[in-house]
């Protein structure tokens, strides 16, 4: 750290603690509004209202439906991103409480989206408020808090739009997905692959007259399973993986041989792997060659809640920020000043960083309330202490970064 900067960490912690009830109320309001991918309008409007109430300098909803709230007027743009869509609730019988009414105890808040990741937008909004309250904003930086859409459907698509169409390009971005109280500096990428094989139908009483596409796919499936055992291993991010996630077929009837079969593959890409490499690995499987399989990458083109469609390949690149990068150092220093030495690790799942850093090279660092194992699970919950801790760390970080 340069100069004689003295950061009053005690005052920042106290300010964050003072907003615990406000953050709890805000999060519970968001939980009560269903907001699955492409249906986030209620979440966006509630966040817009909170930003305006707290005195953000500018609040916009872009044509895709993302909400962008700005605090400050400095030249360096520092962003805090939270996707504000959720997955569905799944089998309601697995919940012990109403996922949209949620619950509140002295220490916890329950409900769909509390960890993944509505808590992130709550802490980011109040982190910016604390910066304003304590006079931490300077002519050096502007803070942008984004509530982004469709991440659960197509991670990073929102930021493709923000960067390419809104023409917004921060110097770095804090990803506020849940980090189990740690700081995360990377994640494996992923892609969605489709494999198609054709057959010839015939009456099921004489299957030798046809060419059963399901049997062809059965050969391929065994080789895909074996392929998973031989993928690249990165010392930090770990191993690439591939697994079959869906299977489809066509047949004239249940009394006929199937004339086509298709599968979807979930491919996780570790550092050093590319989508071209992953496609070729599947295309080169002996059974794919033998049966003339067609191997392609899926595309995503579902309209957002505003009706805007922004098609993209279902490819979500790997990203890793160095441990000695100024953004990593500033996050660590901010955490250390209030809560001790942090653990610096990585996500298991994927985030909007796949576009921000994976596609566009804008550095990302991760720190967010909640736990990864709560994501997409029944009885999802988060912790009030996490909301407070993240808001405090967020509030201190920009000043520390700008003094690097």
Using alpha carbons, list the distances in angstroms from residue 140 to 71, 168, 204, 364: 12, 17, 73, 19
Are 364 and 173 in contact by the 8 Å Cβ rule? The answer is yes
Report, as residue numbers or ranges, the catalytic residues.
Answer: 85, 151
- DSSP character at residue 208: G
- DSSP character at residue 154: S
Q: How many CB atoms lie within 10 A of CB 343?
A: 11
Give DSSP secondary structure letters for 170-183. -SEEEE-S--TTSE
Are 403 and 140 in contact by the 8 Å Cβ rule? The answer is no
Using alpha carbons, list the distances in angstroms from residue 32 to 20, 57, 100, 114, 236: 19, 27, 5, 11, 38
Helix (H) / strand (E) element for 250: namely strand 241-250
The residue written with tokens 């619950």 in the block is: 103
Q: Are strands 189-198 and 233-234 parallel, antiparallel or unpaired?
A: unpaired
Q: What share of the chain is helix, strand, coil (3-state, %, to 5)?
A: 35, 25, 40
**Which residues are registered as beta bridge partners of 71?**
143
Phi, psi of 321 (to 5 degrees): -100, 140
């Amino acid at each position: 750290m340069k100069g004689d900067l003295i950061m009053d960490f005690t005052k920042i912690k106290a300010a964050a603690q003072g907003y615990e009830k406000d953050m709890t109320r805000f999060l519970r309001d968001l939980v009560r509004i269903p907001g699955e991918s492409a249906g986030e309008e209620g979440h966006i409007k509630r966040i817009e209202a909170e930003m305006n109430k707290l005195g953000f300098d500018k609040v916009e909803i872009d044509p895709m439906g993302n909400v962008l709230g700005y605090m400050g007027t400095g030249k360096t743009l520092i962003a805090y991103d939270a996707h504000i869509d959720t997955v569905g609730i799944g089998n309601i019988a697995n919940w012990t409480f109403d996922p949209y009414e949620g619950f509140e105890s002295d220490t916890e808040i329950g409900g769909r989206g509390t960890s993944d990741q509505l808590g992130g937008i709550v802490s980011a909004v109040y982190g910016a408020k604390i910066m304003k309250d304590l006079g931490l904003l300077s002519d050096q930086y502007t803070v942008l808090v984004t509530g982004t859409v469709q991440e659960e459907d197509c991670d990073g698509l929102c930021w493709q739009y923000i960067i390419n169409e809104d023409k917004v390009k921060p110097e770095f971005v804090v990803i506020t997905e849940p980090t189990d109280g740690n700081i995360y500096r990377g994640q494996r990428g992923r892609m969605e692959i489709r494999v198609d094989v054709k057959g010839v139908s015939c009456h099921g009483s004489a299957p030798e007259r046809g060419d059963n596409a399901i049997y062809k796919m059965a050969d391929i499936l065994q080789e895909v399973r074996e392929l998973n055992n031989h993928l690249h291993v990165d010392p930090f991010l770990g191993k690439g993986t591939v697994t079959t996630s869906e299977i489809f077929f066509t047949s004239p009837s249940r009394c006929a041989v199937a004339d086509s079969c298709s599968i979807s593959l979930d491919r996780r890409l570790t550092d050093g792997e590319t989508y071209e490499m992953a496609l070729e690995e599947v295309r080169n499987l002996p059974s794919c060659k033998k049966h003339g399989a067609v191997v392609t990458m899926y595309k995503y083109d579902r309209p957002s809640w505003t009706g805007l469609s922004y098609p993209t390949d279902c490819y979500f690149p790997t990203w890793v920020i160095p441990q000695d990068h100024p953004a990593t150092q500033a996050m660590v220093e901010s955490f250390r000043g209030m809560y001790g030495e942090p653990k610096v690790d990585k996500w298991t799942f994927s985030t909007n960083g796949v576009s921000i850093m994976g596609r566009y090279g804008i550095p990302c660092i991760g720190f967010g309330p909640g736990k990864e194992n709560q994501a997409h699970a029944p009885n999802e919950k988060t912790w009030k202490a996490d909301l407070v801790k993240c808001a405090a760390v967020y509030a201190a970080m920009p000043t520390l970064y700008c003094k690097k």
